[in-house]
Amino acid sequence: MGKMTVGVAQRAPLPCDNPVERFALNVASTLNRHPEIELLVYPEMHLCGTEHLPEAARPAALEAAAVALESELVDALGSIARSHGIWLCPGSIGETTPDGAFANTQLLFDPAGRLRAAYRKMFPWRPFEPHRPGTEFVVQPLDDETVAAGRSETGEHPTVGLSICYDAWFPEHSRQLAWLGADVVLNIVKTTSPDREQELVLARANAIVNQNFVVSVNCAGPIGRGRSIIVGPEGFVMAEAGIGEETLVVAVDRDHVTDVRTRGTMGTNRIWRQFQPGDAEIPLPAYNGRIDPQNWSPREPRTP
């Protein structure tokens, strides 16, 4: 009832000047090999590759390729999702926001081709990335009303939280997504630097401390460091890719998240049930905030 089959498409970036046709072909070939996939996820900035250009020309090309969310590019991506009847995260794109800023924005389309969620990267990799930071966390239930006929049984499906690359280095980000009801964190990545090994540790750690699934999708070599990974809510690695282009396929189950949080990780640690009636609030000076014991447990995913 609560399961969904996720496909992780570890791919090399596509050139930013004309990515849609090649992307559509890759989606089609991936689903031809793995027709069971219901949610297909690509890496960060997958449609915005500039590696074919001289290094000095890349920043300007990246910004020139940015579009608004109401654009031909976004419409075309929605059409690809609709043509296959799947949930589709094509990675992120450069977005020109309504106020003229340049954002790194993750997209999620439903099987009807509608753009159901857009998330602006909150923690750009500074000083190397030029994007303006986003300020809003985004979670999206993969609800039944848009599940394509015949692809999944009727039932409540997982809720995903959107996350981009360096966001995973800030535990506050993954914790907030979990509190907002995310059963699965979709962390799309474009790691070309030598710290992918550390990111694998963070993927497991974020899954353990929040007791949910973490899907970390990196771009393939030779541009990226690969090693995409899917981690379960107790921190066990369910699938891990190598360096080159590869597709991982794993079923995620929101009932498994509920079970782990109820019985505890390895039958012991129930972190979301830490507080008891009468426990005092805990000040958090770094955030000018606090932990309120009465408001600690995650929200129901479908609560507005």
What's the rounded mean pLDDT across residues 66-94? 97
Q: What is the pLDDT of residues 170-182, one digit of tens each?
A: 999 999 999 999 9
What's the rounded mean pLDDT across residues 270-298? 95
Is there a cis peptide before residue 127, judged by omega within 30 degrees of 0? yes
Is the pTM of the predicted complex or chain greater than 0.85?
A: yes
What's the rounded mean pLDDT across residues 190-219? 98
The strand ranges marked E within the chain are: 3-10, 39-41, 87-89, 92-96, 102-109, 115-120, 139-141, 159-164, 184-188, 213-217, 229-231, 237-240, 246-253, 282-284, 289-291
Residue at 97: amino acid letter: T
Record the tokens describing residue 290, joined without a space: 């606090």
Is 152's pLDDT higher than 90?
no
Q: What is the pLDDT of residues 18-69, one digit of tens each?
A: 899 999 999 999 999 999 999 999 999 999 999 999 988 998 999 999 999 9
Phi, psi of 249 (to 5 degrees): -130, 120
Mean pLDDT over each residue of the chain, to the nearest integer: 93
Q: Could you tell me which residues come within 8 angstroms of residue 115 by beta carbon, excluding any fewer than 6 positions away?
A: 69, 74, 78, 107, 108, 109
Q: What is the pLDDT of residues 113-128, one digit of tens each?
A: 999 999 999 999 998 8
Is 7's pLDDT higher than 60?
yes
Contact in structure between 117 and 140 (CB atoms under 8 Å): yes
Phi, psi of 59 (to 5 degrees): -60, -45
Residue range 3-295, CATH number: 3.60.110.10
The strand ranges marked E within 60-122 are: 87-89, 92-96, 102-109, 115-120
pLDDT bucket at 301, cuts 50 / 70 / 90: low
Phi, psi of 289 (to 5 degrees): -140, -155
Residue at 297: amino acid letter: S
> Any idea where the domains of the chain sit in the sequence?
3-295
